[in-house]
Structure 1
């Protein structure tokens, strides 16, 4: 792709969520979402092939549907109140439709089915943008107006997302689909605590991004698209084994790594609000998430997959080709748990 075009696309992707976060006008928020949507599609289809074309088409159709529902809610609210912002007097049906549109954009269950398929059909670097930066704009809208949404709707979507993200990730062998279902589960954790302590939603989002970015960087640098391709890491890149293992365990929420921090704080907050059943259910699903991350580590470092003799003759690759962002992101994704007293 032309460098000028690529620069414009990335600038639009960066600007869209910023416009949405800084706006108090719902129409401007919608414009920021649309900038994000239209700028990402050329990146998805940068190397045209049937899979990327299908992924870009699915992404466009689902996101356009969500944008249509959101715009309809905004216009109905303007017709009712004459304001370009939601108010306590806004009709509950309008707020429910708004939440549905944002749930589609975030990939929350039961509107999640597009996310694994789209993630599987695009490159890893585009998948990183889809699963991290693209979540910021819709989540910022939900953060501003969560008090107007029925809490039962938020909790129901959160429970469904956590369960689907955990169970559907068990039978996956493709790393991109595993990361997509992990994203669905993490979104469920963020939404579950929103009615009780919204600041923990922001903390969870930041830690999720800090864990997902280095994982995608490692997968992208070495083209790890399946568990089978990761099984040769022990021979090709032995120095990468402890790094990727720690990141995977942290993403799964194993103490004392960083990924345990949001789960620990969210479960504590749910118990403080006498929501013991939801806290118990989410703790159980966290163990399922940890299982399929442990399976990745097991296939990567503790076993040797059946392979021909030539694959065992790979020379060790020099791991110095990593860029400068990976070491600090690695530290942030694994060693931030001692900061929990300050964050609390």
Structure 2
């Protein structure tokens, strides 16, 4: 694909978010979702490899199925305007169909398997966009559908996603699959936060994006797809390996890193709203996923390669050393950042 046309696709993806945020009818919301999907599909197969083409086809099929369910749910909701006596039941059923279509688009449990297969076949950069920016349109629609009944369903799916995202990554050694299961687990926390409050969900999403982008970028620089390759990269690029290790510790939610305070806010707000069951389920899922986060961080920051002792430590000096120190300080200042945002949002 020509690099000159990629800004056009990026502009279309941004326009889809604006269209959804300004829409007052489900038809225009549906158009915004499909505009963002169709603009993103050419970027998935940028390098034209067979794995990328396969992942692109899988992504297109899932998104097309979700779009069909969304359109059918919208038609069901529209029919309530002309059928008397069925508006309450049929209208709620239409909302549930639309909500399930968005859950399918986002990759919440039990519609999560496509996320792992698609991310495994992609390069790190389009995978990063898929797990960050492409969630924005669906989350915007999901926030508008939150009600007492729908909120309970979303809390259940969020707890299942947090647990299954941790359980699915236990036996994985492929970095892209680990990042996919990590995204599923964090999506459970994110959806639970959106149910409690839109501001809380927005804060958690921003924190997740800030923490995950450096991990994706440095894994792209290392060009590693396996845990053993990450360990071997300690010799050639120790700065990138250290950044990946710190990033996984923060994504795990360990204090005092920034990821801990995002989860702490979600748990605090859930307990304040007497949603103890959802908070317990999220904590259990976080403890399960902690295993593979610590596994990657241990390989990156503790285990040394055989020839590591003979490597010069000049990488600690200069710009790259300052960059590493800045990322560590940014994670350690999470308490001040999140605490300040939390106090302003009350």
TM-score, normalization by structure 2: 0.87
Q: Residues of 2 paired with 1:132 and 1:326: CA distance?
A: 23
Query: Matches of residues 222-241 of structure 1 in structure 2 within 5 Å?
Result: 222-241=222-241
Q: Residues of 2 paired with 1:315 and 1:81: CA distance?
A: 73
Match of 1:216 in 2: 216
Structure 1: gaps (5+ residues)? none
Match of 2:177 in 1: 177
Query: Matches of residues 132-211 of structure 1 in structure 2 within 5 Å?
Result: 132-147=132-147, 149-211=149-211
Query: Matches of residues 122-141 of structure 1 in structure 2 within 5 Å?
Result: 122-141=122-141
**1:95 Cα deviation after fit:** 1.4
Kept in 2, the 8 Å contact 1:217–1:326? The answer is no
Q: Residues of 2 paired with 1:327 and 1:16: CA distance?
A: 37
Match of 2:67 in 1: 67
Match of 2:39 in 1: 39
Secondary structure of the residue aligned to 1:91 is helix
CA RMSD of aligned residues (A): 2.9
Structure 2: gaps (5+ residues)? none
Q: 1:77 to 1:331 in 2, by over 3 A?
A: farther
Secondary structure of the residue aligned to 1:81 is coil
**1:241 Cα deviation after fit:** 4.0
**1:143 Cα deviation after fit:** 0.8
Match of 1:343 in 2: 341
Runs of 4+ more than 4 Å apart: 87-90, 311-322, 324-334
Kept in 2, the 8 Å contact 1:169–1:289? The answer is yes
**1:302 Cα deviation after fit:** 2.1
Match of 1:302 in 2: 302
**1:47 Cα deviation after fit:** 2.2
**1:155 Cα deviation after fit:** 1.8
Q: Residues of 1 paired with 2:129 and 2:319: CA distance?
A: 22
Kept in 2, the 8 Å contact 1:214–1:330? The answer is no
Q: 1:117 to 1:256 in 2, by over 3 A?
A: same
Q: Residues of 2 paired with 1:109 and 1:155: CA distance?
A: 11
Kept in 1, the 8 Å contact 2:246–2:297? The answer is no
Aligned pairs, how many?
336
TM-score, normalization by structure 1: 0.88
Q: Residues of 2 paired with 1:285 and 1:20: CA distance?
A: 32
